[in-house]
Amino acid sequence: MGDLKKLSGRPKMAGGKKTKFINVRFTDDEYEVVVALEKELGTSKTDLIRMRVLSDAKQAVINSKELIKHLDNIGAEVGRVGNNINQLARHANVLKLQGSLNPIVIDRFNRLFEEYLQIQQALEAALRKILRAMAN
């Protein structure tokens, strides 16, 4: 029995000392939701709120000004690409009427246009994901 170490005081905290305090106010309905979750999950209100706020915190927060700036740039670039495609199509039609349109050029254009359509579909899917994330 002499080799047992005497435990004194509270054990060291694993995550470091918590010294910062945030005061949050809830409506009665919101507070009831927090209390119900506290009972259901068997954790304290503090730990519950900490988990909900900090889990995926960087993914959940969207800087709307930055997002709008990037979407504006993307929209402008898509517009420029559309103009270039129209110019190429017009030029191809002129060459076709002159009888000097090379079939290799047509094939290359069709492959590039197919690639462009795939990229545009991926862009549309990404924008839908962003909109869904913003709705949640």
In the chain, % of residues over pLDDT 90: 32
- Rounded Cα distance, 92 and 98, in Å: 10
Three-class secondary structure of residue 47 per DSSP: helix
Side chain identity at residue 105, one-letter code: V
What confidence tier does 6 reach under pLDDT thresholds 50, 70, 90? low
pLDDT score, position 18: 80
Query: Given the structure tokens 């270039």, which residue do they identify?
Result: 84
* pLDDT tens per residue across span 84-130: 999 998 999 999 999 998 999 889 889 999 999 999 999 999 989 88
The reported pLDDT for the residue numbered 20 is 85
Check: CB of residue 60 under 8 Å from CB of residue 51. no
pLDDT over 80 (residue 81): yes
> How much is the pLDDT for 60?
53
CA angle 30–31–36, rounded 5-degree value? 100
Residue 100 in contact with residue 69, Cβ under 8 Å? no
Question: Based on the number of CB atoms within 10 Å of its own CB, is 90 exposed (0-12), middle (13-18) or buried (19 or more)?
Answer: exposed
d(CA 133, CA 100): 51
